[in-house]
Amino acid sequence: MLFGLERPIPEDPRVRALLVQWGHLTPEEAFPEGEAKPLPALEGGEDGP
């Protein structure tokens, strides 16, 4: 069995964002063109500050 040289990219965008933050992936690797990037969480929860 042959394995690809590329790392598997997690499907969860939050996990990919953490991998970018930690320097394990580049933003281009984690979020290919055409795919939405997660927005940073706002303080105060969903209802706003």
Q: Which helix (H) or strand (E) segment is 14 a member of?
A: helix 13-21
Local structure of residue 13 (DSSP, 8 states) = H
In 10 A of CB 30, how many CB atoms?
Answer: 21
* Residues 38/48, Cβ–Cβ less than 8 Å: no
The model's confidence at residue 18, banded by pLDDT at 50, 70 and 90, is: very high
Residue 45 lies in a domain: no
Residue 2 lies in a domain: no
Q: Check the CA dihedral 19-5-29-34 and report its sign.
A: negative
Q: pTM of the predicted model, to two decimals? A: 0.54
For residue 37, pLDDT over 90 is answered with no
Residue 16 lies in a domain: yes
Separation between Cα atoms, residue 26 and residue 30, nearest integer Å = 6
How many domains is the chain built from? 1
Mean pLDDT of 13-41: 81
For residue 43, pLDDT over 90 is answered with no
